[in-house]
A and B are shown apart, each in its own frame.
Chain A
Amino acid sequence: MRQIKICIRMLAAACLALCLLAGCGARMKAGAEESAGDVFVFGDTTFNAENEEPDIDPHNAYSGWACIRYGVGETLFRYTDTMEIEPWLAADWEQADALTWRITLRDNITFSTGRPLDGQAVKDCLTHLIRTHDRARNDLQIDAITAEGQTVTIVTQEPRPALLHYLSDPYSCIIDMQEGVSEEGIVSGTGPYIAQTLVTNERLELVRNEAYWDGTPGFDRVTVLSITDGDTLTMALQSGEIDAAYGLPYTSYPLFQNDEYVLASAATSRTFFLHMNFQSPVMQDPAVRQAVAMGIDKERFAGELLDGNGEAASGPFPAGFALGGDAVSAKAYNPDGAARVLEAAGWVDRDGDGIREKDGRRLTVRWLTYPSRQELPLLAEAAQYTLGEIGFEVIVNATADHNSIRTDSSAWDVYASAMVTAPTGDPAYFFATHCLDGAVANNGHYHSDALEALAAELSVTFDTARRAQLAARMQQIILDDDAFVFCAHLRMTMVCRSDVTGLTAHPCDFYEITAALRPAK
């Protein structure tokens, strides 16, 4: 009787094991069929509401990034690999005077709805854009748009030397406004893929645009999965659930450095930097800001902690960009110097607890950051140690709720973020969005009369050499004021299965799923 019981138990265990293996086998087979066939599954950590990309409507927050990245929308102009502007949906352009730009569109392009792309369609789209999107309205400064056949004429309120750059920004994706925006946030563009279904924070389903004007898209269907956790993304790629990934933790890269995968990298202007809160009493002290700037070991962060997947930053733009790298001088890591600066300003550790005080106030810095860029908490902990060594108490708050907290100036002293500082390839963008009065991301309420004056001049200067001079001086001003501390520029890397080709990393970080993406066979 006992032996029979043992046999039954063993049989049950064997059945269970068989079921588990069968389940795994079926899943792996399905994955293999998908990758070998015409379905491409892409995992992305940034396609979510937390990242201000809840859908693919380019007129909504930063959703234009999703629109252009996933091959739904295209802009009138685009960036080359060296970040120069070239026509895309436009065939040609001319500048009639300082305010008037005449853009001629390509023939024979249609939206995925079947509507031909003409001047009126572009006018409808841009008119809606500047009515609904604050950042675009401030950037473009459009006064009037007229359409005639395949020609669009844009008149700006004031000279806009960087207009073509702004027309290359993802928010400028040309979408069919007759079709409009669905409740889910789906739009119809001219890209190689057509969005079918969208669930915010979950997935986007795309199908091939059979009428695409610039070649035949390589996949019948594309699925974009929103996977915010880097470890989950890593395992999804390893298991074959997805074919390619954006936003993997750099510590996972060695897992994919073999024949089964291809890593596509590009130096981008995505920069880890600190915003100093000028409304915080402690940060209003120039010595404290200077000490923070001198107390962060950027070289170690970029070289050791990012394992070489970034480079130490001086200013907002990386070395590969004009005005990047050595064009400006930033304070080097100098803990002894930082300590002397604090001593001179009256910040002294009187009670021997390792934290400096002045007028009864401890030198405490509340460091706000967020975890969706996985290197930011690492930067926070690294700074917590190096600043701690010179007498700061750093309290780290790494939270997904950073967007609401950073609007409350009383809730933080230093805000660490990772932003693309030159998505348009033009230096004016960074100052306009982060440094000037009223800029949407001037979180620390920084103000400089000199910077405002130079920005005003930059906004009406067309001469490239003069623009470069102005931008270099503007960078130096914010560095000298210690209004921002630029820590590192990150290399962007996407990992793709080797049986897929055409997924290439671009310095502007906009172009991912294109018509060139196809099975390797």
Chain B
Amino acid sequence: MTGSVTVRRQKVRRPRRRYKLACLLMLAAALLLALLFIERLCPYDPNAQVFAALEPPSAAHPAGTDRLGRDLLSRILIGLRTSVLSSLALVVVTAAAGSAAGVLSGYFGGLADSLLMRIADVCLAFPGLVLGLAVAALLGGGLHNAMLALAVVSWPKYARVARSQTLALLRTDHMAAARLAGGSAPQLILRHILPNCAGPLLVTAMLDIGAMMMELAGLSFLGLGAMPPTAELGSMMSGGRSLLQLYPWVVIGPGIAIFAAVAFFNLLGDAARDWLDPQNSGGK
């Protein structure tokens, strides 16, 4: 009973998955919209150092104040925007660059394919965060440099997926037919390959958002990400770690925010995978 899925259960599950994904997408859209106008939700200027330092949560400051006397709720909200939008931008750029590399590599093959895949092999040979740390240290601190560092180490997985999909598609009958019909390389790639690769790449990208958020926060925690006074959840946690025993709210607020954001985007990624990945449709 445990290993089998009845037709009836499959039928019940697909609409449920659709609703789940739709709900999560609506929530994500609402979240993004809110983040774009987050300043209006902030009770105070997130950089204003005008309050007493290390005040515990109160009606005036629901998340307390930090070591410099800044309102933590305002900084958490702005930090959330920094983390989410940076992660989304990073994933979009990385996925686009990696996918392009993978598709071109798979389609044309030859020397370009070998070269790109060997570079990808080198990137994959190192633990991602360690290589990211090295690149970020080389580039210097700053959020943009941290994003660049993560982009450098993250593109190979998209390239691998795109290349394998492309190679599989090239062997299909409809691709052969498209070629016989006189389709040029750009036409074949844009009309036939990319649309058929989109599903797996989208699933990979959506599952990657939470991971990217964690890695960006990790680099900021280590001092290689956002620079002061930029509010970013990782750097806020890093700045507050020495205060954990006596002033825990300085770390707990940003910690909860990053946990919630990462959990939400992981759920969204899972839902997208359940919906888009046909191989997973009969899963548990």
Interface, chain A (partner B; CB < 8 A):
230-231, 234, 249, 251-252, 254-255, 300, 304-305, 307, 374, 377-378, 380-382, 384-386, 388, 395-396
Contact = CB atoms under 8 A, between A and B. Distances in A.
A48 B148 CA distance: 34
Most chain B beta-carbon contacts within 10 A, residue among A230, A251, A386: A251
Contacts of B68: 305, 378, 381-382, 385
Contacts of A377: 228
Given A304-B52, A307-B53, A385-B47, A251 B227 contact: no
A250 B68 CA distance: 14
Contacts of B246: 251-252, 254-255
B48 A251 contact: no
Given A304-B52, A378-B67, A385 B229 contact: yes
A208 B153 CA distance: 54
Interface in B219-244: 227-229, 241-243
Contacts of A384: 228-229
13 contacts: A234-B242, A251-B243, A255-B245, A304-B52, A307-B53, A381-B228, A381-B229, A385-B48, A385-B68, A386-B49, A388-B229, A396-B227, A396-B228
Most chain B beta-carbon contacts within 10 A, residue among A234, A307, A384, A395: A384
B264 interface: no
Contacts of B248: none
A304 B53 contact: yes
B68 to A, nearest CB: 6
A92 to B, nearest CB: 49
Given A300-B69, A388-B47, 13 more contacts: A231-B241, A234-B242, A251-B67, A254-B246, A255-B245, A304-B52, A305-B53, A307-B53, A377-B228, A382-B49, A384-B229, A385-B49, A385-B229
B107 interface: no
Contacts of A395: 227
Interface of B: 47-49, 52-54, 67-69, 227-229, 241-243, 245-247
Is the contact region of chain A dominated by helix, strand, or loop, or is it mixed? helix
A258 to B, nearest CB: 13
A251 B53 CA distance: 11
B228 A380 contact: yes
A254 B245 CA distance: 10
Contacts of B54: 251
Nearest to A395: B227
A517 B208 CA distance: 57
Contacts of B227: 395-396
Contacts of A252: 242, 245-246
6 tightest Cβ-Cβ pairs between the two chains A and B: A231-B242, A385-B49, A381-B228, A304-B53, A249-B242, A396-B228
Contacts of A307: 53
A212 B78 CA distance: 61
A395 B53 CA distance: 23
Contacts of B48: 385
Contacts of B242: 230-231, 234, 249, 251-252, 374
Contacts of B69: 300, 304-305
A488 to B, nearest CB: 15
A63 B216 CA distance: 39
A377 B238 CA distance: 13
A231 B247 CA distance: 14
A251 B229 contact: no
Nearest to A231: B242
B247 A251 contact: yes
Most chain A beta-carbon contacts within 10 A, residue among B52, B227, B228: B228
Contacts of A304: 52-53, 69
Nearest to A251: B243
Nearest to B245: A255
A260 B160 CA distance: 60
A89 to B, nearest CB: 41
A336 to B, nearest CB: 16
Contacts of B241: 231
A307 B69 CA distance: 12
